[in-house]
Amino acid sequence: MGRFIASCQTYEGGMGALPGVEAHGGYTFCGLAALEILQETTLVNVDALIEWSVARQMEVEGGFQGRTNKLVDGCYSFVSASSSFSYISRFLQWMGGLFPLLGAILARNSPNVTQISEDLDLKWLLNKGENFVLNGVVAECLTDALQEYILVCCQAPKGGLRDKPGKHPDLYHSCYCLSGLSIVQHDYMWNKQTADFLANDFLIGRSVGDPKNTLPTTHPVHNIRMEYVHQMKAYFASQ
């Protein structure tokens, strides 16, 4: 299965639904998340995937398009939310679910990137300035731009979230706009002991506007609350 998914990566760097078709943000996220679950992320060209992904953020709107030369769409805040690590770390906060996954791949592959252990003092590590996988310390202006697009342009006056102004809100766009908002409001690290993502709660002030805009942390692979993923894994591990 992993080889098939990897074969869907196009010359642009993203992934399509089938080998040889156009790269698309939704298929790219699903493909990379599936490879993460299968532990086969080494099959993709990560550099090309990063280059394609960061190019999807629109310069004026601040939101993301799902394909080259298409319009911005709020739902790609999540499915579309690692060179030297210092270069890549400037980009890891731009998009939704893709970039914590890309950061984890880099952390596993690079000896120069610290992977977080359970007993590591995260505040000490932050103060020490070590490189470790997280998706937002440097170029926060672009996380702000995405948050502003979601909060200002995607909220419908009568409730719900939407693709863009002029469109009607629906459950699909409400889900992925909120998921993308959560991703860029928080930082993620790769925990080598649990082989899973760890949310860093020590970096604050990432939310745009009222602090009440801050959402709970969503898991970048499963897109449900982090604590529910941990409960799910603990349950199946006990069976």
Kindly list the catalytic residues.
24, 67, 70, 73, 75-76, 163, 170, 173
DSSP the chain: -HHHHHHTB-TTSSB-SSTTSPP-HHHHHHHHHHHHHHT-GGGS-HHHHHHHHHTTB-TTT-SBBSSTT--B-TTHHHH-----HHHHTTTTTSSSTHHHHHHHHHHHH-TTSBPB-TT--HHHHHHHT--B--S-SS-HHHHHHHHHIIIIISB-TTSSB-SSTTSPP-HHHHHHHHHHHHHHHSEEEEETTTTEEEEE-S----S-SSGGGPPPPB-TTT-SBHHHHHHHHHHHHT-
CA distances from 207 to 14, 76, 183, 217 (A): 28, 19, 11, 12
